[in-house]
Structure 1
């Protein structure tokens, strides 16, 4: 699968992963790979650009976690605004998916 197919949905993907609880960057990248059976892997630079964008929009917040193997990890948590944004994005995705299915199936 081409990465540009997914690129426009990275904000929603990361927000969805944070709905399960606070996580740090490496953990999120591993979750993405695991959820997709390694079909999609996010580059570190891309991941941190998404984090910055989401923080600027106040959809997530970050904090320093406990020290672990060489340093403190930066954790990310979804905000109330982020949850509302994700719910709207999920609704839009379902609507778009239904329309695309119509054209792809030729109905």
Structure 2
């Protein structure tokens, strides 16, 4: 499950008017969207995978010996498939506004 892509694409959807105050608030909105999406993803997956929503985290725990290689491969496959599904859902929801 990778819902961070919704927050990551907020800069494409949220229009930039050129006003400095609006630009600052725009970046705050994007940062909050990223943070809340990551929080939701980790909270939802913590009991299943320990909150592994990033392949780099999975790689680090593999190197640290906390998970086996086969489990890391399963997590990586799930993370990539989740990213693909999330990007397809984003395209569907935004009607192609995000490229």
TM-score if structure 1 supplies the norm length?
0.37
Structure with larger Rg: 2
TM-score for both structures, normalised by structure 2: 0.39
Higher helix share: 2
Q: Which structure has more RCO (C-alpha within 8 Å, separation ≥ 6)?
A: 2
More strand by share: 1
